[in-house]
Structure 1
Amino acid sequence: MDQLGVASLGCFARTLQLIVHEGLLSQHSVSDALANARKIVGHFKHLPLAYSRLEDIQVELNMQPKHLQQDVQTRWNSSQYMIESLIAQKRTLSAYTAEYDLRATLTANQWGLLEKASTVLAPFEMTTREVSASSASVADVIPIVFSVGKTRLIRGLRQDMKCTLLDAVNRRFNDVESEPLYSVATLLDPRYKDRYFTNADTLRLGKEALMAEVGKMEEVLKTTSETTASEPADKTPRTEALGTSTSSLGSIFDEILE
């Protein structure tokens, strides 16, 4: 990329993961609840008889037998899957503890905390998945940062947790609008244009950077037209209307604009 003269950008999905870890999962109350959650899952993972008893309870409660998900501490989204599996089995776990011992239990406060954490992590997990797709563009970055800044993705948290998470967002993405690759791509994307910029100065600089690129292209086209006879290009059929939000992320953006 350096030899091509193309500027590089950091991995946006990785930065989102760091934000989630620093802003939420590393908080003492959340990490304690997650530690107990791991012990509960570990209890059933290492004791087949315990899992068999849990499945019997699931059947008695007319629930589909499902295994609990074990997380990997280096991957925050696996913690989300573990929390979701525990919340789905809250009734069966309560019935199990009435008859059998567990290595650890979750207090009512910890259950509530994990439920709120799950609500917050779900959009981050969805966002990470979408920006990791082959169709993702750097144009998605500024709108995503904007939506997080508007707390659309982190509603439901206690105020102190919300502030910590927003602080991590601001620290990691403080200069995102100042990066020409992000600003120009966003301005050119018909879904976004200039709607998601939070700073008038960075928007102005972005437009100036865009016009500079247009000037460069005009010079290239002028030089090309002088040396080569050009033929009109065939029009490519459009398969999707521009500006139409078809993803979950798009629906979040639409809600903010409204």
Structure 2
Amino acid sequence: MFQLPVGPDGVRKASCNACGKVYSANPKAGTSNMKRHIPKCFDIDEPGPPKKRAPLNQAMYREKLAMSIIKHNYPFSYVEHEGTRELHKFLHNDVNFITRNTAKSDVLRLYDREKTILKDALQKVTSKICLTTDLWSSITTDGFMALTAHYVDNDWVLRKKVLNFRAIPPPHSGSILAEHLINFLADWGIEKKVFTITLDNAKYNDVLVECLKSHLLLNDGLVCDGDFTHVRCSAHVLNLIVQAGLKIIEGAIEKVRESVKYVRGSAARKSKFAECIQQLSLQCGKHVRQDVVTRWNSTYLMLDCALAYRRAYARLALVDFNYKTFPSEEEWARVERIKRLLKPFYDITTLFSGSSYPTSNLYFQQVWKIQLCIEEEIHNADRVIQDMAKDMKTKFDKYWENYSMVLSFAIILDPWYKIKLVEYCFSKLNITKEQRETKLTSIFDGMHKLYNEYDIRTERMHRSSVVESSNVDVLDELDGFETFESQFRSVEREKSQLTMYLEEPAVNRSQELDILQYWKDNQGRYPQLVLMAHENENEMEEGLVEDIEALIPTYDNSNF
């Protein structure tokens, strides 16, 4: 402590040498207040001379505490736990404890701050925004609605942001859900930025989309009057197609399922099966998986693993007389064919589940592979596989007879393929020439319609910028002239951009290509096409797709 001169009030005072805090230093009053201050200002418990303790930033401490609650889903009462408080007091003696209500306020304040930042970022996005939404029910049957935005920012970086995860009381009709969705969009200020919305195939979603389109059209907020707004979730459609096929082959895979159940039924059986694997030197490294009947991809993984350990099951049948469900050679051959049929579906579902790369340009080719695979298996010599493929074809035709128009555009905007891949894919399908030409014309006309929309938008932006930069009033008599002239300029630009792009040789597929970087680099050459690419490439399917590996539990016990 440093003794200060006596002030006008005649009271003697002293200040702390470390922090400068002033205390009364009257000899008759004692020095207890100064002694209590020293442990707070210095680490006196450490060996050597006392060291100055850095003051605690209470605001930063509370923000970090709120962030930990959010990240780890802690209850707000976490801040009142005795162990938590003891730990924090040990780390810094100056910590001020807070209550659960204060923690809740801190979390909400942090949310509001981050929401404001994201809202400002969305306002600065020059392209349209693609949405995905879905309903989710908790274990207590409470309904929640999730809304996710997908967009390419002005630096050409793919972004995914969860905008809302809100409790939605029943009823969950399409019109009521649309009202909630419209309120979400208004809250974020993006009603006029919506390009597409991806949903699953629930019936109420058709009503939801129509209500949403009607509302957005009033504000002139949809591209091409909403013709391309509704996109069906590809992963959900895949699930419906495969589930239809699995109903036919349920008996064909029953022995495999029972074999897996038997092996996993006790620790002794697991040990015996592990010995069989070791004796046969099977080193595939797969886990023995039990499927979940509501998850078709888990059935695929179960069959894939069972085939890898086929010889181990055969050996188990020789050494364990209680094992009665070993499949016959004919049944194993059928399981092999089923697994081969399901593999493309599994691979494509995994591909569509990606969130760190564009998926829209992958859609057309992958759906075509599915259609080609189903058509081939319809002529399979195995009657069971035939019936499976026919039921899958029925589901395919219901949802994907006409591939999603807007997602078909994405493959044309992929400089690796362009329109030629669309023509090639249709030529390989079992359809007539007239059907093929009708499909191609439909996609090509849709592409031109979308291009013209962007051409008009670019022209409006250009005119707006010219008017804003000029102080000269525009004559009312010439208002129509700009529209008249733009029609001719639109045709010229179409020839110089869309047509030139399609006629330009495709990029060699042996070369690595970042599709977002390609369009970023070509902004000067194809300004209208760049706008289309900017929005088509952010058409994503995740948010409605669960991680494949997360559906099945993994085990650390050997191969189990």
Q: Return the TM-score normalized by structure 1.
A: 0.77
Bigger fraction of residues in strand: 2
Residue 84 (structure 1) shift: 1.2
1:219 alignment partner in structure 2: 456
Alignment identity in percent? 20
- Paired residues of 2:277 and 2:312 also in contact (CA < 8 A): yes
State the distance in 1 between where 2:401 and 2:317 align. 47
Q: Which has the larger radius of gyration?
A: 2
Q: Deviation at 1:153?
A: 9.1
Conservation of the 8 A alpha-carbon contact between 2:412 and 2:418: yes
Q: Residue type of the partner of 1:80? A: Y
User: Does 2:278 correspond to 1:59?
Assistant: yes
Residue 214 of structure 1 aligns with an amino acid whose one-letter code is Y
Larger relative contact order (CA 8 Å, sep ≥ 6): 1
Over the aligned positions, Cα root-mean-square deviation in angstroms equals: 3.0
Q: Deviations over 1:26-55 (max 9, x none)?
A: 11xx31132221211111212110111111
Change beyond 3 A, Cα 1:220–1:82: same
* Partner residue in 1 for 2:301: 81
What secondary structure, in the 3-state scheme, does the structure 2 residue paired with 1:102 have? coil
Question: Aligned partner of 1:183: which letter?
Answer: S
Structure 1 position 246, deviation (Å) = 8.9
Secondary structure, aligned partner of 2:373: coil
Does the C-alpha gap of structure 1 residues 245 and 44 become closer, same or farther in structure 2, counting only changes over 3 Å? farther
For the pair 1:180 / 2:405, whether they are aligned, the reply is yes
Partner of 2:414: 189
Q: Secondary structure at the match of 2:348?
A: helix
Say if 2:292 and 2:298, in contact at 8 Å, map to a contact too: yes
1:109-128 map, 5 Å: 109-128=330-349
AA aligned opposite 1:131: F
Residues 178-234 of structure 1 deviation map (CA, whole Å, 9 limit, x = unaligned):
x431333333333342232532122212222222222222222222222326xxxxx
TM-score, structure 2 normalization: 0.38
User: Aligned to 1:145, what secondary structure does the other structure show?
Assistant: helix
In structure 2, the CA distance between the partners of 1:67 and 1:150, relative to structure 1 (3 Å rule), is: closer
The equivalent of 2:251 in structure 1 is: 32
Aligned partners of 1:43 and 1:103 also within 8 Å:
no
Equivalent residue letter for 2:442: L
For 1:238, the equivalent position in structure 2 comes to none
Does the Cα contact within 8 Å between 2:314 and 2:326 map onto a contact in 1?
A: no
The answer to whether the 8 A contact 1:187-1:207 is kept is: no
Task: For residue 154 of structure 1, report the CA deviation from its aligned partner.
Answer: 5.8
Mapped to 1, the partners of 2:508 and 2:382 lie a distance apart of: 34
Answer yes or no: is the 8 Å Cα contact 1:123–1:153 preserved in 2: no
SS of the residue aligned with 1:9?
strand
1:96 Cα offset (Å): 0.9
One-letter amino acid matched to 1:191 = W
| Partner residue in 2 for 1:209 | 446
Q: Which residue of 2 aligns with 1:11?
A: 233
Please give the alpha-carbon distance, in whole angstroms, between the structure 1 residues aligned to 2:267 and 2:511: 43
Shift of 1:18: 1.4
Measured after TM superposition, the shift of residue 126 of structure 1 is 0.6
Say which is worse superposed, 108-117 or 201-210, in terms of deviation: 201-210
Measured against aligned partners, the alpha-carbon deviations of 1:3-28 in whole angstroms (never above 9, x if no partner) come to 453612111111112112213x111x
Cα distance, 1:152 vs. partner?
8.2
Q: Give 3-state SS (helix, strand or coil) of 2:242's partner.
A: helix
Per residue, is there more helix in 1 or in 2? 1
Q: Is the 8 A contact 1:180 1:209 kept in 2?
A: yes
Q: Secondary structure at the match of 1:189?
A: coil
Take 2:337 and 2:366, find their aligned partners in 1: how far apart are those partners? 21
Q: Hey, which bits of structure 1, 4+ residues long, moved more than 4 A?
A: 152-157
Matched, 1:148 2:370: yes
